[in-house]
Chain A
Amino acid sequence: MAAKSYIGQWFQDVWNIFTNELNLVLHDSGVMLIFLFAGLVYPLLYNCIYGHGVVDEMPVAVVDLSQGSDSRRYIQKLDATRECAVAYDCASMREAQALMAEGKVHGIVGIPRDYDAARARGDQGVISTYADMSTFLYYKNLTLATNLVMLDEMQSAPVDQYVGFDHHLPYNQNISFTLFFVYMALFMILQQVMFYGSATLAGTIREEKRDFVTLTKNLSGLGMGRVSFGRGAAYFIIFLLLGLYGAILVPHWFQLPMHATWQDTLVLLLFFVTDIIFFSFTFSTFIDRRETVLVMLLFVTPIAVFLTGFTWPASSFPEVWRLLSYVFPSTFGCRAYMVLSQTGTLSSIAPELRAMTLQIIVYFLLATVLYYLRTRKPKPAAETA
Chain B
Amino acid sequence: MNLFKQIGQVARRELRLWKARPLYLWGSAGTVALSALFFLTFFQSGIPEKLPVGVVDLDGSSTSRNFTAQLDATQLGKVVAFSDVTSARKQLDRGDIYAFVVIPERFDEEVQAFHCPKMEIYANTLYPVIGGALAYKDVMFLVNLTNGAVQRQVLRAKGLSDREIMGIIQPLVLDAHNIGNGPTSYAYYLNNMILAGILAMAIMLVVSYAIGSELKYGTSKQLLELSDGSILTAVWGKLLPYTLLFTLLGVCLQLLMFGVLGYPLQGSIGWMIVAMFFMVMAYESVALFIVSLVPTLRLGVCISALYSVLGFSFAGFTLPIEALPGWLQGFSYLYPLRFYYQIFVREALYGAGIAVWWPALVALLAFQLLPYCTFLRLKNAYQYQNYPRN
Contacts and interface: CB of A to CB of B under 8 A. Distances in A.
B42 interface: yes
B172 A153 contact: yes
Interface string B293-334: 000011101111110111011001111101111001000000
A358 interface: no
A304 B133 CA distance: 23
A199 to B, nearest CB: 12
A312 B306 contact: no
Among the interface residues B129, B184, B320, which one has the most CB atoms of the partner chain A within 10 A? B129
Contact of A46 (B194, B205, B313): B313
Interface string B271-306: 000000000000000000000000001110111111
B197 interface: yes
Interface in A96-154: 100-103, 119, 121-139, 143, 146-147, 150, 153-154
Question: Interface size for chain A: under 10, 10 to 19, 20 to 34, or 35 or more residues?
Answer: 35 or more
A177 B174 contact: no
A122 B167 contact: yes
Contact of B95 (A146, A294, A306, A339): A339
B173 A126 contact: yes
B147 A162 contact: yes
B93 interface: yes
Among the interface residues B123, B143, B163, B323, which one has the most CB atoms of the partner chain A within 10 A? B323
Given A48-B328, A160-B151, A153 B349 contact: no
B47 to A, nearest CB: 9
B197 A295 contact: no
B169 A159 contact: yes
Given A49-B319, A163-B147, A171-B126, A103 B346 contact: yes
B229 interface: no
A276 interface: no
Among the interface residues A103, A291, A342, which one has the most CB atoms of the partner chain B within 10 A? A291
Interface string B165-193: 01111111111111111001010110000
B147 A338 contact: no
A126 B171 CA distance: 9
Given A126-B175, A302-B194, A318-B41, A166 B90 contact: no
Interface stretch (B27-35, B243-251, B373-381): B27-35
B356 A301 contact: no
Nearest to A181: B318
Interface in B123-161: 123-133, 136, 140, 143, 146-147, 150-151, 154
A52 interface: yes
Interface in A170-219: 170-173, 175-181, 183, 196, 204
Interface in B1-52: 23, 26-27, 31-32, 34-35, 38-39, 41-44, 48-52
Contacts of A46: 313
A204 B181 CA distance: 47
A143 B174 CA distance: 9
Nearest to A298: B305
Given A162-B150, A302-B35, A309-B128, A124 B171 contact: yes
B316 A135 contact: yes
B56 interface: no
Contact of A128 (B175, B212, B356): B175
A360 B176 CA distance: 50
B301 A291 contact: yes
A129 B175 contact: yes
Contacts of A128: 174-177
A342 B126 CA distance: 9
Contacts of B140: 165, 167
Given A49-B319, A137-B319, A315-B131, A125 B143 contact: no
Contacts of A124: 166-167, 170-173
B206 to A, nearest CB: 6
A249 interface: no
Contacts of B342: 103
Contacts of A351: 94
Interface in A255-299: 290-292, 294-296, 298-299
A349 B188 CA distance: 34
Contact of A296 (B23, B173, B313): B23
Contact of B128 (A119, A134, A311): A311
B171 to A, nearest CB: 6
B361 interface: no
B345 A134 contact: yes
Among the interface residues A29, A296, A309, A348, which one has the most CB atoms of the partner chain B within 10 A? A296
A45 interface: yes
Given A50-B319, A165-B143, A295-B301, A316 B116 contact: no
B198 interface: yes
Contacts of B319: 49-50, 53, 135, 137, 177-178
Given A102-B352, A127-B172, A167-B123, 5 more contacts: A53-B319, A128-B175, A133-B188, A172-B125, A176-B129
22 contacts: A37-B306, A49-B324, A53-B319, A123-B166, A125-B172, A126-B173, A133-B178, A134-B180, A135-B319, A138-B320, A159-B168, A164-B116, A167-B136, A169-B125, A291-B301, A295-B205, A302-B198, A310-B128, A312-B42, A316-B131, A317-B42, A339-B94
Interface of A: 29-30, 33-34, 37-38, 45-46, 48-50, 52-55, 100-103, 119, 121-139, 143, 146-147, 150, 153-154, 157, 159-173, 175-181, 183, 196, 204, 290-292, 294-296, 298-299, 301-303, 306, 309-318, 321, 335, 338-339, 342-343, 348-349, 351
8 A-B pairs closest in CB distance: A313-B131, A162-B150, A133-B181, A171-B126, A172-B126, A299-B31, A101-B350, A163-B147
